[in-house]
Each structure stands twice: as C-alpha cells, then as structure tokens.
Structure 1
Amino acid sequence: MQQSCPRRLRHGAAIGAAVAVVAASSAFGIGATAAVADDAPTSASTTTASTTTATAPASVSATDVTTDDQPGGTAPDPTSAHPDEAVAPDEAVAPDEAVAPGEGAGGEGSADGGVAGEPTAEQRADLAFPDGTTADAPLLLEATAGDAVDRTFTATGGTGGVTYELRGAGGKPIVGDGSFENDFTLDPSTGRLSGTARLATVHDFQVVASSGSERAVEHVRLTVRPGAPVGVTFAVSASDGVGLWQVETDGTIWEQAAGQGRVRIVPEVPVFEGSSLVLAGLAVDAYGNRTTPGGEDDPYPRSTVTSTVPDDRAVWSDSGSNTVSFSGTGVRTLTVSEGGVSTSFRVDVGTATESFAFAAGTRTRVTGTAGEPFSADFPVTGAGDDLRYTLRSPEGTPYNAPDGLEVRIDPRSGTLTGSATLARTFHLSVVATGGGVEAVLPVELAVAPAAFDHFTASVRMADAGERTDTWTVEGDTVTHFRSDPAGDRVDVVPARQGDRMVVFAIPEDRFGNTPTRPVDHTITSDVASDRFGVEQSSGGTTVTFTHASRHVVTIRYEGGSLAVPFEVSPVAGPATGHAATGTLAYTGSDSSGPLAWALGLLAAGGGLLVHRLRRRRI
C-alpha cells in the first residue's frame, strides 16, 4: 500500500544565494534517520480455564480421564475423595455459604484472586499490535509528495478501552521542523493516521496504544519521495554582490535584502551593461522538494541557461551555478533548464551610469546631546525611483534601539531622526536599496551628557583593609552597601573620631549621565576642625574627623549642593589625622586633576552602579 507523508513548504521556497542553494540542496534530499530501539511488544496469547471444580493431576492428560460406564458400575472419579476422607454430614457447606453463580474458578476468594464476572489473568490477552514490529524492524510505508495518507493502527487485547498517541523515534516527543505534526493527525480513539505528505524525507515515529496499565508500541518508518518536477527555482545574484533575487518555478521574481529576506516582487532583474548575473537553482516538485538529487561525484546536476539575445553567454561552474554575461542593453528573457523542466524570467540590461553609492562627504558620525533631538541626512548617487532606506545593526540584523535611545530613518528620504536619554556611542548601519542594488554605510551616533543637574556622592572608609562598606547619598537618601546588592536605607554615614573617610562627588545630568570632563566643585564641612585632603590613589577627597558629633559635609557647584551627613562617635585616646585645610576646592587647574577625576569615578562606581541602575528601574 502506498502511503504519503505531508509537510507544508512554501510553494517554490527560496533557495537563497548560490552558496545558500548549495547548502539547501541537502535539505531537499532524502535521507534515512536512525531509529532508537524500544521494548518489543509481547505476543498475544489466550488461555482457557477449566470449568470443573477439581482438576486432573498433572500426570494425567485430558484423554486419560473418562466417565464412560464400566462393568459393575461407573468408574471411580480419580479426583474424588477417598472413602476414608469423605466429608461428614455436619461438615457440609451451609446453604448461605454456597458458591453463587459465576463464582467458580477465578471468583472472589479463589486462588488467582480474580473478581466475580471478570476474566482471570489467564483469560486476558496481552495488548499488542499484530505486526510485531521493533525499532530495528519497523513497519515500512511509502508515499509520494502530494499523496493522501490514511492508515488505521489497531491493537488488540488489554483490560479495557484502547487509546492511541504519536511519539517520535525512541518514544521521545516528535521534534524538528514541525512538518510531521502539521501534515498528519492521529485519532486517539481509533488509531487512524491521516493527512497529506508534503516533505520528501524519512519519518521515523511510533504509534503507542494504551489500555489500563498496559502499553504496546508500533514502530513505523514512512518514506516520502519527491513528486513530479514542476519547474526550476533558483537564486540570482549580481556579480558585484550587491543585488539578490529569488525566482520561483512560475517565473515570479522576488527582490531580497540582507537581514530582511523577501522585500517585494519585481517584473525583471535589473543589471548594468558590462556586469553579469550568477544563477544557481534546482528542479523541484509542487512542494519545493528537490527532484534530481545528484551523486557523490556530481552532487549538483548541471543546468543550462539560454537567452533571447543570442550573443549573451552562460558559463557553468562546478560549484553548481551559471554565470551569465550580457551583450548590449535592453530587456531579454533567460530560461533555466534542469531535470526535464525549465523556468523563464526577464532581465533588463541598462546603460552603465553613475554607480549606486552614498554621496561623497556623507558623514558617518552623528552627534547629539541627551534630551535633545538630532537628525542627519544620507544622500546617495545613482538611485532610481525605488530608492528606500532601512537601519541595521553592525551584525546585519534589523536594528533594535536599546533602552534610552529612540532612532528612526525615513524610508524614502533617508533622514535619520531621534533622541536619547542615555549618553554613550551607538553603532548602527544605514542601508540604501534601489534597483536590487544595496549600499551600506556604518554610522556612529555619539550622545553627550546634558548639562550638570545634581551631585551624587559615594563614601567609603580610607585604609579600610578588607572591609567593603560603601554609602551613597542622592538627595536626602543615604544607602549603605555591603553584602546586599540592593543596599539598606540609613539616616547618616557612621564614623569614629579620628577616622579618615573618602568622599567622591559624582556630577550627573537630569538623566543620571556622568559628564566626561571634570566639574569644578567645592567641599566644605560645618565643623571647622574637620581636615581635608586628597587620596592620591583614587583622587577622592578625604575628610578626617577630630570631633565626635554630627557633621555635614557639603558639595557645591553652580548653585547646586549636596549635603552628606556623618555621625562621628567618640573613641578613647587623641584623634589623629592630616593637617587641617578647612575647605578643599577642586578647580581642575592641577595637571593631575583629570587623572584623579577618572580614578575617583572608577573607585566610586562599585557602589553607585548598583544604586543607579536600581533607581532607573523604579
């Protein structure tokens, strides 16, 4: 019986560029997949129980026991009790203890523990499929793409109703491209498998029957052959690598773009005089299955190309493609033949003009400021009426802007617009496409921080050793970080008399971006005895507390300020520290200032980074 297995493939599926077609051809081939062994179903057996109340000894066959009349009376029953072992009258079974009808062998209380009215274990048949298949010897079915498949798998035996399900080879769930489950369905109550075969391949699967606690497996291998060829589908690429098209078996031409796939249908493939086209394709059936698989020495069958312009020339390559060069301008029809079928499409050879490219001087770096709109234009030369623009990532995929950036490009004018709240440099590509030709321009979008808005402070203890305590101050909020990444809210930064604390002042714009250049600021204290200095390793400002009390250190810049509260507790003995300065003004005039600034930001980043990211998510 010829069966078929379906798979929904797009009619005349795109094979892609020449290399893509070569790779895809293996997918069109037929290959056997290895099945995984499963437990073989047990054979069905049926045993009939005796209906007598006493069985003959094992050494006595059924023919050895008879009830025929003998001289002198009936022959004694070899299974009856000996006269000396006869049951006394008072030991007879009481009427209410008599065996009810149907409670013979196998009834309740019998040796085999059966239930009244139900078949015994010896009377039941094991659940099984009649074919007796195994993973190594499956049931073999065949079909041709387009055939209807209709087969019922029936298991017999079991303890009740039987249900059916499909599984993959080895009993695993059916996985893969989804073709099998899309093309076939199994009725769980009847075991009927139905559908239409579409994908030319080998399907290894199982039909699993269940009845009560019993289970039986039918191992099946369905081989689907390609159908009759209907035409040739092939990829067309320009010799300069900037144009790509896909021609279906009916001659429909799809223009394609990297990272976008099929873009639109065009009436002909445009090409300029002096250039050439590379064609690579295969004969396929109505479902896109390859119909002429090649051998090991020649995996890709030779195709031929003819043109309605006699002077056009096609050269076959052993890589599996034809290169067509053109003589003169104008529209011509090319016909690709392979495997007994052919497909034709139109090519328009135009006069060579200015090459399609981005105009000279087009800027590749666009600058902007956080919170402000930006724009840029990307003109091209040699464009036709079908010019359009898109954005891609540097990897060639459609561009997805990260959080903090909004950017778009007008598909017709090529004007890039947007805004950002995140100050950083973004990398993307502007892509212009026209006439099947593509131009790509890598672009840097550099967003600078907005104007200074406020300070955020980070505080740690100098000479803390292995201690990692850090405090951040933002507005009126003081957060302590140590082991908990989320931090704990506190009222003040704790310190002891004589401690030296390091304060990092982090300027930010209204979006939380840190300026790339130092901001001149002043740090003062409301306790005159506090001593200020600079930590050379990080560039942070040190404050030494000689007096035990509440201290407020204030950071000021351009009319803005931030108060950092400290609670200094007393300790025994005199306080130690550096020489007092009263205030410390960071002006940036010191040549080491920028380096110290950078080191300070780096050292402060550990605590602030977690805090700021957490704040931005709120």
Structure 2
Amino acid sequence: MHRNTSAVRRACAVGTTIALVGLTTGLGVFSASTAYAVDAPSAVSASASPTDAATGVADPAASPSPTASASPDAPVTGAPTPITTAPSKPNAVELAPAVPDPSATPSATTPQPSTPAATPAAAGTVTISGDAKVGVTLHAETTGFVGPHTYSWTRDDATTTVVSTDDFYKVTTDDIGHVLTLTVTDTLAGTSSSDATATVTQDVAFADAATNTVDTPLEITATAGAAYSHDFAVAQGSGTVTYSIGYSYPDEVDPTDPTDQPSNYLPDGVTFDPSTGAFSATSYSAGSYEFTVIASNGTSTATEYVDVTINPGKAVGVMAAATDLSSEELFTSGKSGHFWIIAPDGSITTVSVSSDPNAEPTFTPGGQPTVKQGQSLWIQGNAVDQYGNDTAPVDPETGNDVQPVVTSDVASDQISFDENEFANKVTFPHASTHHLTVAQQDVSVSFAVTVVPTATTIAVVHPVAPTTGELAYTGSDATGALPWALGLLVAGAGLIGARTLRRRRAQR
C-alpha cells in the first residue's frame, strides 16, 4: 500500500542527495545543485550513457521536462514542502566531467607581449648664463621644457622684486650687492626649476676709460713750484676700491731693481692716497713723467695712463758750464781734465776727471776755470728758472736748444761755435784774468777765467774755505745741476754716460 508520509518522502530525498554527492565527487564535477524535494523514481531514472559522458553532449531524452509533474500514482504528502530556490535539476550529463579526446590536437596559443608603462617625462632644468656684473646681459639656458613655460627674474631685496619676465635680463646698478634668481615654470605640468647668480658686482672704470690708452694718456700740466692735484677716483665700481701706482711701459723696466720702482716715475713732491686716489704735489723738477694709476675692487681692475708735464718757471739766470777737454780728448785720449759748473748766482763747483776710466770724478765746491795761454775752453749754458730748470727755447728747425751768446771782456779772445762739440769755443791768446759772460733770454751769468803764460805750470784755483755751494736763488744744492751741466759738455751724454764710454774704449 502507499505510504504517503513526510518521513518516507524525507528519507527518499536524503538518499537521493547522498547518491548525487557520491556521483559528483567521483566524476570531478565542481558544482552541486541545491537539494530538491522530488520523487525518488525520477531521481534514479536520471542517468547518463558512457557515450554521453565521453562526448560531453547531453541526451535530450534524459533531461526532465520543465513542465513535468508528479505521477498520479505517486504518494501525496499531507503538506507541500516550500522551495526556496528553483534552479533546474542537473542531469547526469551535466554532472559528468568532460573527458579530453586523445586524438585532438591542442591549439597553440601565442603569448602577447606586454606593453610597458609609460615613463614620466623628466622635469625641466634651467641655468643662468653670464657673469653677475652690471651691464652684462644674463640668459636662461633651459633643457627638458617641451610645453609652454614662463620666466621670472627676481632680486632678493626686501620685497623680492620681479625685474623681468623675459628669457634674458641686463644687470643694472640697482642689482649691486643683491642675488638674482631665475625661475622657469612649465604652465601645463605646474613644475618649475630655478637658478641663482652670485652677488652682483660692478667692474671698476675710470671716467675716460673709452679713450685712455698708453698712446693717449691723461695729461696733467703744472709749473715748477706751483701746487697741482688730481682726483683719480673711479667713475664706477662696487665694493671697496684701492689705488696704486704702476708702470706705463712694464716691458721696459726691472721691478726687482729697487731704483726702478713705480714710485721712481712720479714727479717730485707727490702725495698719493691709495684709499681714495687723491693725488697732489708741488714739483720743482721740470720734465715729463709717465706712470699709471691702477684701481681694484677685488673682482676687477682698471688702469689710467697718466703723463704729467712740469714746465719750468720764469728764467732768472743762466746755468753755465766750461771744460778744458774736448769730447774727443775725454773719450779717446784718456786725458785728465776739469769741468766747472757756474750757477746763476756765480758760484762755481769744480769737477776733476782722472785719466783712469774706472776712477770716479771728484767734486769740489768753489774753484775757478784755469787754462794755459793759447788753449781753449768749451762753454755751454742755458737760461734757468729759480729751481735750475732749463728754460731755453727750442729751435723749431733743428729741434735743439737755442745757443746762448758768449762774450769776453778781452777783445783778443777768439769765440766761435764748435759744431762738433755743440758748444762755444773760446781761445785765449793773452795771459791774464778774463771775464766771460753767457747770456740768454735777457738773463746772464759772468765768471772769471785765469789764463796763465805758456811756460807756467797751471795750478787749478781752489777755494780758500770749502762752501756748500748753495744756490741763493733756489736754496738747492748746486750738485743737483751737475748731471745737466756735464751733459752739456759731453754733447748731452751726461757724466755717467761719459764714464761708461771711456771704460768701453779702454777695454778694447
């Protein structure tokens, strides 16, 4: 008889579930359906043939109809069991795993290359090109900026002033002592790069820097005995500026020689302040003096070429010189002899020259020119100012000084101009005391000459008491005029040149 009870139906459902779990576990199916409350005969009749399992194709006849209902003969329970989910019940074919066909050729799968991730673009950089000096144009040198970008030059003052938005900037005097910073910004990416200068400086320069050269120096003119000055402060330059004296022709000097230092090229009486460049002087020696003033601020230097000309003052007298030797006798014969220097006030200094070319001449204050009867003296002279500076005019045709006029109080004296000696030659036929006068530019000097008879041995007259040879008109030592006077007597060679020439001839 039929047992239509809930216990029987539950037992059938549990058995069906156990059978299905065992079947799916053994066949390797990875999914299971939720248990259904179905009749046991329907579950048992759901089977799959071996062929179906091998091919993985479901038999349509084995699949339950979605509209199937319980057989009229099936037992009916008193209350229906609720269904919580309603998936279709898997059949045996669905539960069976697919079996691979050994004869099938596996399809080859070509691996696809992976595309690397895009590398982010490198950030742009900027470098400032140019020296941080006033007047220099600085430029921005950028790399890596491919899109739109902007420039900003700033000065590190109290307000961080933007001074330019161009890719270049010309440094001004307002920037002295400050640091300039350039920032370049990529307007799309929003990134930026910066670079900064050193502290801005300004090169030192004199006001006439554009025209001042060794051939076109700054010219300063003064008169002997008169004060003059000049301010050598630079027209521009940052920081602390110092000043020094230098050479105009450095290739022609010997800096290791203590007597060949830059200061030796300055006029006499100069006062120079190295901290300000202030230059002042009262000079007494006429002439042309070439030197340089060098300014420096530690980062730059500037050179000012200078030519100071000290002109002589008004002529107050004549400086004369006399010698009893011709230049030929002095240089080639090796004779001994004498020079006499006659100052404008008439005072005399005697210079004795030995026949030994290596001997030094001796200087004796006082004395008087002395020659034998029939012999000669060579006389030269120039008008001078109160400091002994030559004021003689220059002959425009020859370029030489205009010669003085020499006269004698003895009519028999023979006076002529000796071209070879560039001096007036006076020959004394008569033995006695003669007075010669040398005149130029309305000034003159007179001195006595002792002419002794031919048979008499000449004794050079020396002063009774030595004097200092002071020039009353200057207060200067008379020996200061010795190089000038002796230079006249040796055709401009000077005493040292004369000694050197004599030594060279003696060594041949």
The TM-score with structure 2 as length reference comes to: 0.45
Pick the structure with more strand per residue: 1
Pick the structure with more helix per residue: 2
Structure of larger gyration radius: 2
The TM-score with structure 1 as length reference comes to: 0.38
